[in-house]
Amino acid sequence: MVAPVFDSGSFRDPDGHVFFYENEIYRTLTTDAVHRMERLLKLSFVKKSIIEGRIIDTKILEATKIFPKDFLVTEYVLWHEKIPYVTYPFEWTFSMLKDAAYLMLDLLSGLLENNFILKDGTAWNICFYNGKPCFYDILSIDTYVEGQPWEGFSQFLQEFLYPLMIQSYQGIDFQPLWRSTLAGIPAKLCYKSLSRSSLFKKGVFKYVYLQEKLSSNKTISEATLKHEFTHNAFSKKALTNLIKNLRLCLETLTVKSDQSVWKNYDSKNSYEEQDVKEKEKFVVEGLKALNPLSVMDLGCNTGRYSLIAADIAPVISCDLDPTCVDQIYLKKNSKILPVVLNLMTPTSSMGWHLNERKDIFTRVKSDSFMALALMHHLCISHNVPLSHFILLLRSIASKGIVEWVDKSDPMVQFLLRNRKDIFKEYTWENFQHLIREHFHIEKTLPLNNGVRQIMLLSEKKN
Amino acid sequence: MNVLMYCLPLMATSTPCCAYLDAGSSSMLLQLLFGGVAGGLVFLKIYFRRLVSFFKAKK
């Protein structure tokens, strides 16, 4: 008997579970689900969405034709195209979450026209692939029965609309709040976070205030409402209008452009124009020499070097500032995956049994890194020892590009302006010594009269 | 009419019940309210039922 390896996060839907076999991704299917999926995958709307990359490519396969004898799975399975990196909703930016919300509503609306509906309204069913959102939980598409409500409505509000509202109206980054619940932002938290004047903004009274008041009302929450939807014929038109109004509400949500201190960093740093050109040349030549399969750009800021790297290999652009990362996303480069990531608190394993949601470094792997103008933020602002910083780089990849930022650099001086200099080991000599323990230094280029040094690192062979 | 529908829930007294707090019922009712007249009727029905059960319990 051969047992498939199931994904520890795929247990909620009794209709089927994700499993892995020979580097491919499959999903088990109950008999009912097989018929439903057959009808679904024949729809021209679904076929078109798959071609456009809005739904993940999926096929129904007969288990006996692909798996060994005695392989313990259902008679039919779904095959899914493999997504290289899955990022979670709290690692997305405002525009990413908003685009994912649009996708959700577009799919719901298109499915309704074909008498299908989404079982839920969760952002966990979406990932970012080729620079745009892609829906991948095909099994959460169900047959629509006239009169039924959308059971994912409150989930949609919590996971999409409320986070976007508090970001748009109050300038509060939604990511840490979203991460703390793993289910978005509750109506009460959203309501309490909004100012009184926000009550008059589009959708706030309808979707936040009413939802909060109704959900905290004992009589309402105890009521059995299921049968009312058939008796009172909650029409498909009403549901379509609901989707249309949610879309109109989303369209009014925008972010203020002055929210980030890092956004203008690229134009306000300690670099001279000539040094910038030399640095860019070094990055291009260095990456070409490393010949990476992918590059993880740590502390990417607004993505100047991510964009350069994307001409050579796919890039995972990480930064703790959502506004900066949003600017990269808005450039819509299909080779760049933007990720909101704070290296001091990277996403750990979470959810059920600490196994449902995976840590960031398990999900997002790369064979090279770029750590440009990053180390002083970690080593000076957060007291991370140089050796720890280098170990982090080595755990990510065996090759890459790193930039040394000396204490005499104006940006480091700025960080040290109001604090005691306790960083005796933060020296260029010590850094070189420590880096040689884990990497081979291919070449070094001094910049800004040696205040900064950029290094090309390859794998150290013993 | 729609304004009236949206105002109906505000007449309800808010009594939180935490252990079984469920956003499902409220979001279903919200959808009914957005759906039109029927939603308002359902809302009144819920409170009427509660009133009836209150008097029944008194007997």
Give residue-wise pLDDT tens across range A183-218.
999 999 999 999 999 889 999 999 999 889 888 877
Q: Do residue A76 and residue A95 come from a single domain? A: no
Whether B10 is in a domain gets the answer no
Number of domains in chain A: 3
Q: Which of B14, B17, B31 sits opposite A150 (nearest CB)?
A: B31
B35/chain A closest Cα distance in angstroms: 5
Name the residue of chain B whose CA is nearest to A207's CA.
B30
Exposed/middle/buried for residue B13 (C-beta within 10 Å: 0-12, 13-18, 19+) = exposed
H or E stretch at B36: none
Q: Tell me, what's the pLDDT at A304? A: 95
CB contact under 8 A, A220 and B32: no
Chain B residues inside the 8 Å CB shell of A210: 6, 9, 30, 33
Q: Do residue A179 and residue A305 come from a single domain? A: no
Residue A277 has pLDDT above 60, yes or no: yes
Read off the pLDDT of residues A91-110 as tens digits, 9 standing for 90 and up.
Answer: 999 999 999 999 999 999 99
Chain B touched by A244 (CB under 8 Å)? no
Which residues make beta-bridge pairs with A295?
A315
Q: Which of residues 93-152 of A touch B (CB under 8 A)?
A: 149-151
Q: Tell me, what's the pLDDT at B7? A: 53
Q: Tell me, what's the pLDDT at B2? A: 55
Chain B touched by A181 (CB under 8 Å)? no
Q: Do residue A114 and residue A34 come from a single domain? A: no
Task: Tell which of A52, A80, A108 closes a domain.
Answer: A80
Whether B33 is in a domain gets the answer yes
Whether A267 is in a domain gets the answer no
Q: Are strands A369-371 and A295-298 parallel, antiparallel or unpaired?
A: parallel
Looking at per-residue pLDDT, the higher value among A68 and A163 belongs to: A163
Give percent of chain A with pLDDT exceeding 70.
95
HEC readout, chain A: CECCEECCCCCCCCCCCEEEECCEEEEECCHHHHHHHHHHHHCHHHHHHHHCCCECCEEEEEHHHHCCCCECCCCEEEEECCCCCCCCHHHCCHHHHHHHHHHHHHHHHHHHHCCEEECCCCHHHEEEECCEEEECCHHHEEECCCCCCCCCHHHHHHHHHHHHHHHHHHCCCCHHHHHHHCCCCCHHHHHHHCCHHHHHCCCHHHHHHHHHHHHCCHHHHHCCCCCHHHHCCCCHHHHHHHHHHHHHHHHCCCCCCCCCCCCCCCCCCCCCHHHHHHHHHHHHHHHHHHCCCCEEEECCCCCHHHHHHCCCCCEEEEECCHHHHHHHHCCCCCCEEEEECCCCCCCCCECHHHCCECCHHHHCCCCCEEECCCHHHHHCCCCCCHHHHHHHHHHHCCCEEEEEECCCCHHHHHHHCCCCCCCCCCCHHHHHHHHHCCEEEEEEEEEHHHCEEEEEEEECCC
Residue A125 has pLDDT above 90, yes or no: yes
Q: Which domain holds residue B45?
A: 21-59
Q: Do residue A414 and residue A287 come from a single domain? A: yes
Looking at per-residue pLDDT, the higher value among A357 and A419 belongs to: A357
Whether A259 is in a domain gets the answer no
Q: Tell me, what's the pLDDT at A360? A: 97
Dihedral, A51, A57, A62, A65 alpha carbons, nearest 10:
100
Q: Do residue A36 and residue A108 come from a single domain? A: no
Chain A residues inside the 8 Å CB shell of B31: 149-150, 153, 234, 238-239, 242
Task: Kindly report the CATH number assigned to the domain that includes residue A409.
Answer: 3.40.50.150
Whether A427 is in a domain gets the answer yes
Whether A266 is in a domain gets the answer no
Chain B touched by A235 (CB under 8 Å)? yes
A169/chain B closest Cα distance in angstroms: 23
Read off the pLDDT of residues A330-376 as tens digits, 9 standing for 90 and up.
Answer: 999 999 999 999 999 999 999 999 999 999 999 999 999 999 999 99
Q: Provide mean pLDDT across the span A394-411.
A: 96
Phi first, then psi: what are they for A128, rounded to 5°?
Answer: -110, 125
Alpha carbons A297 and A316: distance in angstroms, whole number: 6
3-state secondary structure of B21: coil
Q: Do residue A222 and residue A359 come from a single domain? A: no
Read off the pLDDT of residues B1-58 as tens digits, 9 standing for 90 and up.
Answer: 455 555 555 544 444 444 454 556 777 888 878 876 666 777 777 777 777 877 777 6
Residue A156 to residues A123, A186, A334, A452, B21: CA-CA distances in angstroms? 8, 11, 26, 47, 18
Q: Do residue A119 and residue A206 come from a single domain? A: yes
Q: Which domain holds residue A173?
A: 89-251
Whether B38 is in a domain gets the answer yes
Task: Tell which of A54, A80, A106 closes a domain.
Answer: A80
Whether B51 is in a domain gets the answer yes
Q: Do residue A46 and residue A119 come from a single domain? A: no
Q: Do residue A186 and residue A53 come from a single domain? A: no
Q: Tell me, what's the pLDDT at B30? A: 84
Whether A179 is in a domain gets the answer yes
Q: Do residue A226 and residue A103 come from a single domain? A: yes
Q: Do residue A63 and residue A212 come from a single domain? A: no
Interface test with B, best of A148, A215, A241 (most B CBs within 10 A): A215
The alpha carbon of A332 is separated from its chain's Cα centroid by a whole number of angstroms, namely 15
Q: Provide mean pLDDT across the span A23-49.
A: 96
Whether A264 is in a domain gets the answer no
Confidence band for A173, pLDDT divided at 50, 70 and 90? very high
**How many residues appear in chain A?**
462
Q: Do residue A379 and residue A450 come from a single domain? A: yes
Alpha carbons A28 and A131: distance in angstroms, whole number: 29
Whether A453 is in a domain gets the answer yes
A246/chain B closest Cα distance in angstroms: 11
Give percent of chain A with pLDDT exceeding 90.
82
A236/chain B closest Cα distance in angstroms: 10
Number of domains in chain B: 1
CB contact under 8 A, B12 and A217: yes
Q: Tell me, what's the pLDDT at A120? A: 93
Chain A residues inside the 8 Å CB shell of B9: 210, 213-214, 217, 220
CB contact under 8 A, B42 and A242: no
